[in-house]
Amino acid sequence: MSTLGEDIRPVVTVTLNPAIDQTITVEALRPGHVHRASAVRRNAGGKGVNVASCLADWGTPVVATGLLGSGNAAAFEALFAAKGIADRFVRLPGETRVNVKIADLAAADTTDLNLPGLTADADALDRVRRTLRELVLPGTPVLLAGSLPDGLPADSYATLTADLRAQGARVVLDSSGPPLAAALAAPDLPFCIKPNRHELEAWAGAPLPTTADLLEAARGLHRNGVAVVVVSLGADGALFVADGPALHARLPTVNALSTVGAGDAMVAGLIAAFGADLPLEGIARLSVAFATAKLGCFGPNLPGADAVRALAGQVELSTL
């Protein structure tokens, strides 16, 4: 078994609807009032890009692909060059969308305004599929992450999952709404999914107010064939369901510089743990440590590996 941080297998992340995240920090958000921002940051992002960034910080080789607008690709190209991420994105005419995030320091909360972006078509998706056929070998970890751009059908992730499963890849899916539902209704299921409470409730079509409710929904997905189901609970940590007893993992609350991308950091931790062949306890510890460590950083970044390992050792685990 590998130890934490020794994973050298390349990971492929797929982001079909990336974004440039513009985070504006204010002392207290008051709708209808004029605000003076205390800080503004722009980061190349989107779920898969954020995961790739965190994995690169951890020392994992990463190849990033998906769809990018050629008009404002420079921010992504700079990130990939700085972090040593291999860039295999398909370029489309136009600009990648911009997401405005208003960080409210008083409420320790973030308000998102997601702007429209690229429109894609079947040819664009086929170009991504051809790229993946060149990149993926049996055993390759592949992340499919985020929303879909306008023009792509809801079953696009189901299509990619079927392709990747046929190539022997281990697929991690982090999406929501119709794309998640379509992927979970398909014959070829992803290896792992990581919905949050609201995303799982939307899939279930009913409120899941208690831990027992969330756990039963997650166990149902596991029984249907998803090997690992992780339900993220924000400050309450996450539930982990696989073969054997389920786990609840959490760390004490920390002062957060930014909560943006914490869920993506958790996915990066999951993939790092899978690559190191860790048991469920190790998966829970590392993924929660990634998410918590990211809270102390702006943008899709992690602190040094020693700091992440120290947090992993402090994760509180309970068997459900």
- How far is it, in rounded angstroms, from Cα 274 to Cα 157? 21
Q: Residue 5 has what pLDDT?
A: 41
**Under 8 Å between Cβ of 103 and 260:** yes
Backbone angles phi, psi at 63, to 5 degrees: -115, 125
Lowest average pLDDT, out of 14-23, 51-60, 259-268, goes to 259-268
Interval 12-23 mean pLDDT = 94
How large is the average pLDDT for residues 11-19? Answer: 97
> Which pLDDT score, from 0 to 100, does residue 253 have?
67
Average pLDDT, the chain: 93
pLDDT at 2 over 50: no
Q: Looking at residue 3, what is its pLDDT? A: 40
d(CA 156, CA 152): 7
Residue 48: which pLDDT band, with cuts at 50, 70 and 90?
very high
Q: CA triplet 97, 103, 109: central angle to 5 degrees? A: 115
Q: What is the distance between the alpha carbons of residues 9 and 1, in angstroms, rounded to a whole number?
A: 14
Residue at 201: amino acid letter: E
Rounded alpha-carbon distances, angstroms, from residue 178 to 18, 154, 185: 18, 6, 10
Tell me the torsion sign for CA atoms 88, 89, 91, 96: negative
Does the structure show a pLDDT above 60 at 66? yes
Q: What is the pLDDT of residue 22?
A: 87
The angle formed by the CA atoms of residues 183, 187 and 191, to the nearest 5 degrees, is 60
Rounded mean pLDDT, 111-124: 91
Q: Which residues contact 192 (CB under 8 A, 6 or more apart)?
A: 170, 171, 172, 173, 226, 227, 228, 229, 230, 270, 274
pLDDT number for residue 110: 86
Is the predicted pLDDT of residue 170 greater than 80, yes or no?
Answer: yes
* Each residue's pLDDT tens digit, 220-244: 999 999 999 999 998 899 999 999 9
Residues annotated catalytic, as ranges: 264
**Which pLDDT does position 43 carry in this prediction?**
86
Q: Which residues of 82-99 are buried (b: 16+ CB within 10 A; e: fewer)?
A: ebebeebbbebeebbbbb
**Percentage of residues of the chain with pLDDT beyond 70:** 95
The predicted pLDDT at position 262 comes to: 87
Q: Does the model's pTM come out above 0.85?
A: yes
Gyration radius of the chain's alpha carbons: 18
Mapped onto helix, strand or coil, the DSSP state of residue 45 is strand
Query: Does residue 8 carry a pLDDT above 60?
Result: no
pLDDT surpasses 90 at 185:
yes
Q: Give pLDDT, residue 1.
A: 33
pLDDT for residue 136: 96
The pLDDT assigned to 159 comes to 98
Residue with tokens 């060149």: 134
Report the alpha-carbon distance of residue 46 to residue 112 in Å, rounded. Answer: 13
- The predicted structure's pLDDT at residue 254: 65
pLDDT single digits (tens) 255-294: 666 666 789 999 999 999 999 999 999 999 999 999 999 9
| Angle (deg, nearest 10), helices 156-166 and 177-185 | 40
Q: Say yes or no to pLDDT of 63 above 90.
A: yes
**Burial classification of residue 138, based on how many CB atoms lie within 10 Å of its CB (0-12 exposed, 13-18 middle, 19 or more buried):** exposed
- 141, β-bridge pairs: 170
